[in-house]
Structure 1
Amino acid sequence: MKKLFVSALIVTVAISCSKDDDNSNNQDINYSKLPQEFAFSTMATINGVDVINGGFGSGAAAHPSRKGEFYVITDRGPNTDYLNGKKFLTPNFTPTIMHFKINAEGKVEVIKYIKLKNPSGQPITGLPNPAGMGSTGEVPYDASGNVLGTDKYGLDSESIVAAPDGTFWVSDEYGPHIVHYSAEGVEMERISPVGVNTGTRKLPAVLAKRRANRGMEGLCLTPDGRTLVGTIQSMMYVPTKAAAKNTTLTRIVTFDIMTGQTKQFLYKQDGGASDSVCDITALSNTEFLVIERDGNFGSQGGIKKVYRINISGATEVTGSDMNAVDGMKVNGKALEECTWDELGTAGIKAVSKTLAVDLVAKLGYEHDKFEGIVYLGNNKLAVFNDDDFGVVDDGNGNPKAKILPKTGKVDKGTMYVVDIQ
């Protein structure tokens, strides 16, 4: 069994999106006793560097009915940049959900692990999809630099929704896909952009122009249980990488679970192309909390903020044809080619946003990544980081330990509870 690490108002996990209806009264959940550390086991040792059995920070959700219980999910597994793709340090790694609770002593207690599986019930990998099935063009390599195969059911999972019926919705950065899994982790449906050969229900075709490793980073479910709401991490390359200019523009997509109807809205980031809109959690059917972050450590000028947003006054920008590969256009240009002034003149409004909390200012947040949030009610927010399995790229495609500059310790998955405005 994998072990878990906790520290400070902190847990070794991360979360993605949830309803707050069943978690609004947390007075009997003892979050204040979380400061404790657990040793992670080692998954593998590559070139003398330990790859830890962590990674539970790419996405998370609260249990839909049991207070103090959560689900957290890994991404595609430990990897480093290499040539025209990624080295997968443990190629057989299976993206995994961890179900845990805060017990009566205020400690993290793992309930079970759920490995994601294909429709036949076989464990999937985090390897890229083949062409036509959601490929980003990334070439997979093993730790020695040998080319690996692809996985048609592979997932770079980034977010998780725990549905009231016990099933899970997971979004990823390949397709980008939204995949419906059973309570046991078996794939039931895969929803992808038009043109991706994965199933009958579709997302707008333009979403296939997400950048590699910048797909659907956030996902949540509205409190009425009807609509999935996903966030694209950064500006997409629409119509092409060279033509896309508005580096602060990214998209929010909604999917009606019953009807399959989709909508899109624009989100204006504070930063530019290197910044990320990482997660989203619901406050109401139209109001949400959203992460914005950069890639720097908190003590090195990192930006780690949460905004309250409202989509009710925003313009729906799918247009009349969800099959259009470049999406809706303004003056003959894709939205990513337009300035915000041009979009405003055309009557297009982005979602409204106000700052809810600055984690660096509020907590002295040290981690580089900040990829999971869950609203707990009473203006309290659970926050989780992604520890990247304790490794980062050394600049040559090989792993090195991921060290927090302020403490000199290896980064480990952490959960904070913070008050928001």
Structure 2
Amino acid sequence: MKKFLLPLFALTVLACNDDDNVNNQDINYSKLPQEFPFSTLTTLNGINVINGGFGSGATAHPTQKGEFYAITDRGPNVAYSNGIKILVPNFTPTIMHFKINADGNIEVIKYIKLKNPSGQPITGLPNPVGMGSTGEIAYAADGSVLGTDNYGLDSESIVAAADGTFWVSDEYGPHIVHYSADGIELERISPYGVNTGTRKLPAVFAKRRPNRGMEGMCMTPDGKMLVGTMQSTMYVPTKALATNTTLTRIVTFDLVSGQTKQYLYKQDGGASDSVCDITPISNTEFLVIERDGKFGSEGGLKKVYRINLSGASDVSGSDFTAVDGMKINNKTLEQSTWDEINAAGLKPVTKTLAVDLVSKIGYEHDKFEGIVYLGNNKLAVFNDDDFGVADDGNGNPKTKILPKTGKQDKGTMYIVDIQ
């Protein structure tokens, strides 16, 4: 595999504390801004689609300091009709392994394409009905209808385990998928229990909002538990009745027993805003992204909160298979007001602001989607550049432009201090 050397794009370094963390010692994070090595993936109607997209999720290497993994989503796409246009239908969601070398430059080590259990590359096409679909229809760039993929993934977050394998969560399903070091699917955990393995997520998670699945996931430092964040309020019991648009859920998955717990998270924004990636500080304390869809220079919301599961109520209820989950006075949690939830004695996770990226560093991107805690109160930040394209409003791609600089949006990594 050919290696690429380049300085770190848009890296901001602030003051350092005295905490110890192997991912933050003796690493030179001070290089001047430089773009990641993205060539053109394809050209559609004169629009260059770059082979970017890395930044939907990110994680540190579990043992090698200064090494990271970043993952793409399902591939370049734009909204169209009652679904989406998949601009490159054979695109395979991919992991990029890279490091910050002794000179402070980013060195891409390798790319890992995700594969089905037979070792064949998967696509980002939706799953069939009953296997993770909530009605998404995929179209080609010319508007023709595409098929589905039993093992398709709209990957959004990644965890690198100590044994060299990966855990990936997505916006279909939602699924939590275990991949080998070479990207071959080993187990798929979802509300459906399909394909590989029998372990499941609670049935209520099948009512996730389309394109708003498990946007974030991490592993606790003890290696015992996965912690996933749903992007937005789920449609429980239905879209029309899920009126508490600031309520979303966190789910934990015990890797040994397969047992799950659920916690409530109260967003500051509303239905159009997102809870994205999550990264651990301890086994109970985490950092979580909240963002909207605006660019930073246009007044966008790009914040990170410290949250703590200690003291929060497990809202799993007594029936793992209940499609509407726990209820209060015969109403689902998504139907209930926060006053009703509080009156029932249910406590959401606690949260405090860790950093506002717009006010702190003038963060420009719209899709702030990946974070990795480095220790020393330092946070690595990644953006999803959407492969350099945006929706022109008519179901066609246009170049995704950063309004402040006038340049095409490309994958960027920052280092920032947090409170």
Q: Percent identity?
A: 81
Contact 1:169 1:179 in 2 (8 A): yes
- SS of the equivalent of 1:389 reads helix
Q: Which residue of 2 aligns with 1:218?
A: 216
Using the TM superposition, give the Cα deviation of residue 33 of structure 1 relative to its aligned residue in structure 2, in angstroms.
1.3
Using the TM superposition, give the Cα deviation of residue 375 of structure 1 relative to its aligned residue in structure 2, in angstroms.
0.3
Q: For 1:216 and 1:55, locate their aligned partners in 2 and report how far apart those are by CA, in whole Å.
A: 17
Paired residue type of 1:147: V
Contact 2:7 2:105 in 1 (8 A): no
Q: Which residue of 1 aligns with 2:259?
A: 261
Q: With the length of structure 2 as denominator, give the TM-score of the two structures.
A: 0.96
Paired residue type of 2:164: G
Q: Within 5 Å, which residues of 2 pair with 1:17-416?
A: 23-24=21-22, 26-33=24-31, 35-194=33-192, 199-416=197-414
Paired residue type of 1:270: D
Q: Deviations over 1:27-65 (max 9, x none)?
A: 300011152234520000011100001000100100000
Using the TM superposition, give the Cα deviation of residue 136 of structure 1 relative to its aligned residue in structure 2, in angstroms.
2.1
Q: Which residue of 2 aligns with 1:15?
A: none
Paired residue type of 1:363: I
Contact 1:298 1:304 in 2 (8 A): yes
Contact 1:238 1:244 in 2 (8 A): yes
Paired residue type of 2:370: G
Q: Deviations over 1:319-346 (max 9, x none)?
A: 0001000000000000000000000000
Paired residue type of 1:274: S
Contact 2:294 2:300 in 1 (8 A): yes
Paired residue type of 1:214: R
Paired residue type of 2:230: I
Paired residue type of 2:88: T
Contact 2:193 2:199 in 1 (8 A): no
Contact 1:75 1:95 in 2 (8 A): yes
Paired residue type of 1:7: F
Aligned length: 412
Q: 1:406 to 1:91 in 2, by over 3 A?
A: same
Paired residue type of 2:10: A
Q: For 2:66 and 2:154, locate their aligned partners in 1 and report how far apart those are by CA, in whole Å.
A: 27
Paired residue type of 1:315: S
Contact 2:12 2:30 in 1 (8 A): no
Contact 1:160 1:169 in 2 (8 A): yes
Q: For 1:10 and 1:215, locate their aligned partners in 2 and report how far apart those are by CA, in whole Å.
A: 31
Structure 2 residue ranges without an equivalent (≥5):
14-18
Cα root mean square deviation, aligned? 1.6
Contact 1:10 1:414 in 2 (8 A): no
Q: For 1:244 and 1:268, locate their aligned partners in 2 and report how far apart those are by CA, in whole Å.
A: 14
Q: Deviations over 1:68-125 (max 9, x none)?
A: 0000000000000011111000000000000000011100000000000000000000
Paired residue type of 1:263: K
Q: 1:38 to 1:238 in 2, by over 3 A?
A: closer
- SS of the equivalent of 1:323 reads coil
Paired residue type of 1:276: S
Paired residue type of 2:294: N
Q: 1:223 to 1:262 in 2, by over 3 A?
A: same
Contact 1:82 1:396 in 2 (8 A): yes
Q: 1:344 to 1:184 in 2, by over 3 A?
A: same
Q: Which residue of 2 aligns with 1:16?
A: none
Q: 1:371 to 1:218 in 2, by over 3 A?
A: same
Contact 2:21 2:376 in 1 (8 A): no
Q: Deviations over 1:375-421 (max 9, x none)?
A: 00000000000000000100011000000000000000000000000
Q: 1:111 to 1:242 in 2, by over 3 A?
A: same
- SS of the equivalent of 1:104 reads coil
Paired residue type of 2:121: P
Paired residue type of 1:103: N
